[in-house]
Amino acid sequence: MSSDKAKDALEMMPYGFYSITSCTDDDANIMVANWVTQASFEPRLIALGLQQTSYTHGLIEKGGSFAVNIFKQEDSELITPFTKSRNKKPEKMEEASYSQAPVTGCPVLDGAAAYIECRVIRIIDVGGDHDIVVGEVVGADVMKEGMPADMLTLPKLGWSYAG
Ligand SMILES: Cc1cc2nc3c(=O)[nH]c(=O)nc-3n(C[C@H](O)[C@H](O)[C@H](O)COP(=O)(O)O)c2cc1C
């Protein structure tokens, strides 16, 4: 415990762990993220807290779409190579093995359990270091069935991105 109780409490929130993929006609990127949630039933919306300085931010602005890739716990090694920024690791996509989601063309990593592809409907500057990207679900598929408890989470990895 620290003297910063807000930090302690924020770090207690249990998050899923996903890859967010983005694309334009001539580029594609994969990043990891946990600030991801469904935000509406009708229409089906997904909200993502996205670092303004990320490569993904620029690609999402240009391409207007993204996909959330969901993984089973035993497949964590498929996502961990993508923790570094494209800006720091320009060759990041060279080791990526993926197909393209049918509606948006965003990467679906080989071995992912499911994906949800979204068209961006709003990028909201909320006055912080992350923007809120809101996407409408335009496609999805399940490649490996399973319960939510079988899917990869940050607590399972012992990692944290909060506080
Ligand atoms: C465990 C973990 C969780 C993360 N969650 C988020 C997140 O929810 N949103 C975000 O913008 N960045 C998150 N990041 C940071 C991005 O993955 C990082 O900024 C990445 O370098 C961005 O990649 P890009 O610049 O190639 O787009 C997280 C990093 C880690 C290691």
pLDDT tens figures, 84-121: 999 999 999 998 999 999 999 999 999 999 999 999 99
Q: Which domain holds residue 27?
A: 17-156
pTM for this prediction: 0.97
Is residue 161, in this structure, part of any structural domain at all? Answer: no
Domain assignment of residue 60, yes or no? yes
Whether residue 71 contacts residue 112, with contact meaning beta carbons closer than 8 Å, is answered with yes
Average pLDDT over residues 60-85: 97
**H or E segment to which residue 69 belongs:** strand 65-70
Q: Tell me, yes or no, whether 11 lies in a domain.
A: no
- Answer yes or no: is the C-beta of 15 below 6 A from any ligand 1 atom: no
Identify which of 48, 57, 83 to mutate to test ligand 1's pocket (most ligand atoms within 8 A of the CB).
83
Q: How many Å lie between the centroid of ligand 1 and the Cα of residue 29?
A: 12
C-beta separation of 154 from 160 below 8 A:
yes
The CA 79 to ligand 1 mean position distance, Å, reads 12
Q: Is residue 162 part of a domain?
A: no
CA 69, CA 128: separation in Å to the nearest integer?
25
CATH of the domain at 82: 2.30.110.10
Q: Is 111 in the pocket of ligand 1 (CB under 6 A)?
A: no
Structural domain includes residue 85: yes
Order of strands, sheet of 130-142, starting from the edge strand that comes earlier in the sequence: 27-33, 18-24, 65-70, 114-124, 130-142, 45-51, 36-40
Average pLDDT score over residue span 42-59: 98
Q: Which atom of ligand 1 is least distant from the CA of 49? A: 9
Q: Is residue 159 pLDDT above 90, yes or no?
A: yes
Work out the percent of the chain whose per-residue pLDDT is above 90. Answer: 98
Ligand 1 and 156: CB distance under 6 A:
no
Tally of domains in the chain: 1
Does residue 150 form part of some domain?
A: yes
